[in-house]
Structure 1
């Protein structure tokens, strides 16, 4: 029996709805038939340049239409796609090139000069149609890897999570069972396809037969509302910084994107100000909180608007998976107790690329041989099985002898009216805990409001109000950049 692989998702959709719009970027739109045709043509092109099963193909094109076809082209050959940000620092790119050892690199014109010491091709070289039929290559299994997704973390350099065909397809199916993407949806994604949250929009949209609009960083600013409206967006995957931007724009314009029916959020809690603005502007809007990490893609998804009924909840584990809090010995903890988040199921990825020791610590097998991920995150579950994220081990610190979490302080700050983003830097040798917030506010007001929400011993040593917080390419707060920004600045305590 032939294994069902990632590109079969596209093949099946192209058979069902060949003329439906699949992907759009600016004025360019490809139907599902055109997307499939290009993926075959690109696979043929890659094969002619020596790409075979197990090779890595590095894509420095996180917002390109061609990337949506190249991902499936790699799958057809049994190769692994590796999508990277075109804003990556040369220092990190050199590490990834040495770590992944790609057969070749495909890049936008702007990014083509970044990679050295490896064959680099421009997207413009790719053919629109195949010149012949693509011969069958070496048979692939569903357990073969199909992607390397590089992620930052506790290590000094980015590390790659290995994702197999079966794991990606299971995750996409389980996520969509909760979110319910539809064939008539238009999904607007201005997150980079190098970010797993952005990358999975390709698979979710394809599975549902929806149209994916590929945006970029420029769409995340003042033009965001116009872009959502002109594309007829119905689903908008966002992170807190995008929610704040959209809420602010809708408040000024007084006119929401009329077709928008759902926004999803991950990465951090939505600012209360943003969620209130969005719900007021878009009647019936579903706001869906999620929690995940690249090592298992998605852990949990909440019911729409669950933040109103279960504040702080990240929802229930994906169908077909299990998640629980464990003590230091790995034993399950009862509801309400905080411990390490452990995830079990087919969504647990295959491990870290060329990092056997780290893989052995984080990716394990239970007594039944099922994959189990020890995340290193702190969490608790309520009596109904809903997940509440407490923080990561490196977010936990002691102040005045009390153990506390950056997430708790940030959540309190985000609850303050007018705060659009918040980030706490834990104490170090040079200073105490420092809280930075973005918004048109005065420091004394923020400090006073924090005092209403937090015990005195949990108040940060310093509070700084900024016009904006530095963001990573994925739209998350860049805490390293924030620390550099705050160096030498004063605040209020």
Structure 2
């Protein structure tokens, strides 16, 4: 069975062209805000043009990979726009990376130049030329877009996967695919001048493409937090003070915000929050609405980095128990379920989720044969990607998520999905967050499930009767053998996603 969006391809204005439209039509409107400072679209265009001119002189030609590193701020935004306007390939680099990490990413992405902004220094170990720019010395030099627009399959950006399921892999994205996604999302969410969109994701997380570029392609305002990392306890207050109307959040990060904030914060202007990156549970939906008195839309989105940001989405009105549906494919995409590989299965049957789109990426850079095997490319730019995610389609062609193929374990012959166990745990009183791992028994017997729990505020011990409560919803084999309490669950590389590889067993005993 297949869930289908409209697959017909068509040309879209490039991202830089879309931004240039607003620079021409609303030059004095607020484009970027950080603290008490505001850039108009005219000022954004001037800075981006100055950077583009310097970039063109240092690295002429199109399709060449440029790494951009700088603190979150006006110059970084202008640099991203300039790289795209020059039809180069954008590789965002977190300024806090170690020299070894920076060098590895630059090498694997094939970057030919590092664009370093303001006072950010770049170690010589990156192995390529460095162009150091002081944003205060840039001057305008004409229009933002002046030339041939990007071709359909022309590369536009490189992002690395989060590494939460193994070694981070470099993904080569396309200009057209990014432009299509932004055009679709802008239309679907009715983004327009007057909207204010927050940028809280790390710049190494592909969601930052949406956070930075969606407002600028809609004539809206991009709201930047302070350059330094924002503690969880300050995030919701910043969103309120910044009058943010649209927001993206990873569930793990949203839980941390709620946990670290008292009940006095409200977000009356926030009209839509987009969750993605991890399973969204009914528990988090309920907490978000109740603690913030939130009345706006909650949307669950799904799409690996390999498929250009998002391929499915679902508006959550009344949440279903446990993990929320992934929804239906967006235009230009299709989703189905296979088991075994190559055999589509009927509604209700569990298998691997497969995505097809004419707006995909060009795959991995420097991938192994096994990694490349997840992709199939058509002659018209169409991409089929095997996600490695387990799920099923229901009778209404809505995609439902069960977990990762590699998160599926057998306990005493019973197939257990770790994400499903976590959702049940988080629904229990006294549990704020849960992560479940399977660990081999010391005596060589069947693996055991270990639950790592972040307790709810005011709860100082694993709730009494937790095991009995779980047995009302799970088979005995799916109830964790041990419950360990932790202060927080580990996240990864600025994405905020859970990093299971960093979960440890800190205690020889458990409940």
Displacement of 1:310 in angstroms is: 9.4
2:210 corresponds in structure 1 to 200
**Which digits, 9 at most, give the CA deviation of each residue in 1:393-438, with x for residues without a partner?**
2111121122222211111122223433221223347673222121
2:87 corresponds in structure 1 to 78
Number of equivalent positions: 488
Query: Which one of 294, 298, 303 corresponds to residue 315 of structure 2?
Result: 303
Query: Which one of 337, 361, 365 corresponds to residue 353 of structure 1?
Result: 365
Does residue 236 (structure 1) correspond to residue 236 (structure 2)? The answer is no
1:436 corresponds in structure 2 to 452
**Which digits, 9 at most, give the CA deviation of each residue in 1:436-460, with x for residues without a partner?**
1212442244444433332111112
Contact 1:302 1:314 in 2 (8 A): yes
Query: Which one of 15, 22, 32 corresponds to residue 23 of structure 1?
Result: 32
Alpha-carbon distance in 2 for matches of 1:262, 1:392: 27
Distance 1:433 1:284, change over 3 A: same
2:191 corresponds in structure 1 to 181
Distance 1:249 1:468, change over 3 A: closer
Displacement of 1:325 in angstroms is: 0.5
Determine helix, strand or coil for the equivalent of 1:120.
strand
**Which digits, 9 at most, give the CA deviation of each residue in 1:155-200, with x for residues without a partner?**
8642211111111111222333433333221111211122111221
- Choose between structure 1 and 2 for higher RCO, CA contacts under 8 A separated by at least 6 residues: 2
Contact 1:39 1:69 in 2 (8 A): yes
Alpha-carbon distance in 1 for matches of 2:248, 2:182: 14
Distance 1:231 1:75, change over 3 A: same
1:416-435 pair list within 5 angstroms: 416-428=428-440, 432-435=448-451
Displacement of 1:358 in angstroms is: 4.8
Alpha-carbon distance in 2 for matches of 1:134, 1:10: 9
**Which digits, 9 at most, give the CA deviation of each residue in 1:251-278, with x for residues without a partner?**
x243412212221111223454543233
1:158 corresponds in structure 2 to 168
Contact 2:49 2:141 in 1 (8 A): no
RMSD: 2.9
Unaligned runs of 5+ in 1: none
1:279 corresponds in structure 2 to 289
Of Structure 1 and Structure 2, the greater helix share is in 1
Distance 1:10 1:306, change over 3 A: farther
Contact 2:440 2:448 in 1 (8 A): yes
- Normalising by structure 2, we get a TM-score of 0.86
1:115-130 pair list within 5 angstroms: 116=125, 117-124=127-134, 127-130=137-140
1:383 corresponds in structure 2 to 395
Contact 2:164 2:501 in 1 (8 A): no
2:277 corresponds in structure 1 to 267
Unaligned runs of 5+ in 2: 1-10
2:346 corresponds in structure 1 to 334
